[in-house]
Structures are given as structure tokens and as C-alpha cells.
Amino acid sequence: MDRVNFFDYIKANIRWIGTIWFFGILMTVILILNNVPVHEILYGIFLCALLFAVVLGAGYYVCRRRCQQLGELGAAVDISLRGLPECIEPTECEYQELLRMLFVKKQELEQRMLSHEKEQTEYYTMWVHQIKTPIAALKLLLEEEKGGERQREEELAELFRIEQYVEMALSYTRLESESTDFVFRRAELDDVIREAVRKYAKQFIRKKISLCYEPIGRRVLTDEKWLNFVLGQLLSNALKYTQKGSISIFMRKDCLVVQDTGIGIRTEDLPRVCEMGYTGYNGHADSRSTGIGLYLCSRILKKLGHGFSITSQEGNGTCVMIRFEEKEIEG
């Protein structure tokens, strides 16, 4: 780019050069027809040709210099666009503006890719670390010589935790995949809720936690599979941090509410509970806490177009709300 052939420059500017030659020949013919002395005509042609050569040479020099600047800039395009030659024509200004916009987009994409790769690495590192705990616990349980009903329950609980971690990993992978298709349709909230509750029924029984739920009778536009995953994660969290009492599922205006009577969340931890890997004070006290569940829930609900909010008070339980933009879909 820093070397410009003179003939390429002529070819690129053939229009205005041809126009100048046309008018030069036309003026010469007019002067001859008006009986202007030949030596005066030749003198005028000489001056015009000299001026034309100077203008053409200056134009070629400017073009060559600008191309050299662009060539030097091209080697550092990954760093900055500072140093672009000053635009002369409006079209050049438009091209330079377009170039700057493309450069900004390129930087944004690179930043997003780096952030995404870092996030994936952190996620799988945490996931592998967390899944080792239930596997080790299950191994110890299986190594016991004697086993009764209680031991069997503990084994099943550990296996269920492994299944949860695997499901979270698969959901994260699918969520980040460009090929993920969300299937939106009119769904009965009661069907989604019952399926999620059925999955955690044994956990409710084992921990002797009561479920307060009455049929809602609402239909919303959503993806049933992903909404079911979110409800499952919310129930899992509620069961994990509720030692006694109950978990309630109900509608409050346009929001589906999952409320528990658990240990709650500290006020200083609330703004960060949806950050990846953040467990907060109460999460640190529980070795089973991953800091992944609520992160996935917030990401999924954002993609589904549903609102998501959490209120809690330490010692008085937690209230999670999913807001549906459409109150109800007529069918």
C-alpha cells in the first residue's frame, strides 16, 4: 500500500485529467479559428502543460504520501487508528469514519471473546472442583461395610447433587452456544411448576420442608424447558438454605414468586449474588455452594425477556421474583 504506481494514479484520476485535456484541445482549436498567432498559442500550451505537470506531480506526491501513512498505520491497526491522514474530500471522511466504526467493533468483539473465554475457563474450573466433593462423599458412603435406609438416602442425595452439577454444566454450554434456539410458546405455568417440584420432591421429604403451592392458572409466553431449569435452580437454592419451615410458590401481580423461610442473604451480598462464582457469606459456610445457579438463572431469564429480582433479609428467608412482561396470553 505504501508504493503507488504512477500509471495507477493516472488511471484512478483519468476523468479529471481527460476533462482538462478536452478543454485544452477545445481552447486551442478556438484560438486557431480566431487567427491567434501560432507562437502565442504554443506559448499558452507550454504554460498550461507546465501547470498541468506541476498539479499532476503534486497530486501524485500527496497520494503517495497518504498511502505510505496508511501502510504504516496498517502495521499498527491492532493498537490504534491515530495517525490517519487528514481527509480532503467528503467521501474520504466517510470512509475514515466507517473505518473507525469497524475498528471499534473489532475491539469490542475481541474484548467479548476474551471475556467469554475467561468466563468459560473459570466456570469449568469451579465446576470440576465442585463435582469432586459429592463424588468423594459418595465413594466414602459406598465403602461403608454396613448400610441402612439412612445411608441409602445419603447416597441418593449425593448422586442427585452430581446430576445437578452436570445439568448446570450442560445448560451453561447450551446457553453460550450460538446455535441455541429458544422455543417460545404459550405455556401453562402450573405445568412448569409441577415438573420442577416433582424433580425435588424427595428433597422436600428428606428435609421435612413443607411446600405451599396452589394452582395459578396462568399462561405466559416463554420457553418451557429453560423456565423449568430456572425454577429447578431456585427450588434447589431454597432447599439448600432452608433447614425448617416452608417454601412457597405463588403469583404476585405479574410475578412468579419463590419464597422460603431459610437463613436469608446478607444485605451486602445481595447486589452480587447473580455474579458468576459469588457465594457470599452464607455460601462460604456451605461447602455445596457453587455460585453458579443464580448466575445461570439471571442469564437465562434475560434471554427469555423475563425480569428477575431477589429480596432477602438474613435470618428471615429469601424471596425470588420472575416478572413476565405479558400478563397473560389469550388462547
List, for residues 63-94, the tens digit of each pLDDT value: 777 777 666 665 555 455 555 666 665 666 66
2: confidence class by pLDDT, cuts 50, 70, 90: very low
The C-alpha cell that represents 25 in the structure block: 484541445
Sequence length of the chain is: 331
Beta bridge partners of 312: 318
- Residue 59 phi/psi, 5-degree rounding, is -65, -40
List, for residues 203-218, the tens digit of each pLDDT value: 898 889 999 999 999 9
Average pLDDT over residues 249-270: 92
Are the C-beta atoms of residues 96 and 84 closer than 8 Å to each other? Answer: yes
Sign of the dihedral through C-alpha 223, 259, 299, 171: negative
Annotate 75-142 with DSSP letters as a single string: HTTTT--TTPPPP-SHHHHHHHHHHHHHHHHHHHHHHHHHHHHHHHHHHHHHHHHHHHHHHHHHHHHH
Topology at the third CATH level for domain 185-331: Heat Shock Protein 90 (3.30.565)
pLDDT of residue 223: 92
Angstrom CA distances, 200 to 74, 97, 246, 262, stand at: 59, 57, 14, 17
Helix (H, G, I), strand (E, B) or coil at 186: strand
List, for residues 114-146, the tens digit of each pLDDT value: 787 777 767 766 776 677 777 777 767 666 656
pLDDT of residue 331: 37
Angle at 161 between CA 209 and CA 143, to 5 degrees: 110
Average pLDDT over residues 1-21: 70
pLDDT of residue 67: 73
Distance from C-alpha of 96 to C-alpha of 78, rounded to nearest angstrom: 16
Are the C-beta atoms of residues 69 and 85 closer than 8 Å to each other? Answer: yes
pLDDT of residue 288: 56
List, for residues 18-68, the tens digit of each pLDDT value: 787 777 788 878 877 887 787 777 877 788 888 878 887 887 777 777 777
Q: What share of the chain is helix, strand, coil (3-state, %, to 5)?
A: 60, 10, 30
pLDDT of residue 276: 77
Are the C-beta atoms of residues 289 and 251 closer than 8 Å to each other? Answer: no
List, for residues 146-196, the tens digit of each pLDDT value: 656 666 677 777 777 777 777 777 777 677 665 567 889 999 999 999 999
pLDDT beyond 50 at 329: no
Please indicate whether residue 267 or residue 93 has the higher confidence score (pLDDT). Answer: 267
Average pLDDT over residues 278-306: 76
Residue appearing with cell numbers 455460585: 291
14: confidence class by pLDDT, cuts 50, 70, 90: confident
Q: Could you tell me the residue ranges of all domains in the chain?
A: 6-86, 185-331
Distance from C-alpha of 70 to C-alpha of 82, rounded to nearest angstrom: 11
Provide the whole-model pTM.
0.56
281: confidence class by pLDDT, cuts 50, 70, 90: low
pLDDT of residue 192: 95
Residue 271 DSSP symbol: G
Are the C-beta atoms of residues 139 and 188 closer than 8 Å to each other? Answer: no
230: confidence class by pLDDT, cuts 50, 70, 90: very high
pLDDT of residue 42: 81
Going by C-alpha positions, the residue among 322, 277, 307 that lies closest to residue 295 is: 277
Residue 174 DSSP symbol: H
pLDDT of residue 17: 77
Average pLDDT over residues 275-287: 64
Distance from C-alpha of 100 to C-alpha of 94, rounded to nearest angstrom: 10
Distance from C-alpha of 75 to C-alpha of 307, rounded to nearest angstrom: 46
pLDDT beyond 90 at 306: yes
Q: Is 35 left (phi over 0), alpha (psi -120 to 50) or beta?
A: left
Distance from C-alpha of 65 to C-alpha of 2, rounded to nearest angstrom: 8
Please indicate whether residue 59 or residue 266 has the higher confidence score (pLDDT). Answer: 266
Task: For the chain, give the percent of residues with pLDDT over 70.
Answer: 76
Angstrom CA distances, 281 to 133, 242, 246, 263, 286, stand at: 20, 15, 22, 11, 9
pLDDT of residue 308: 94
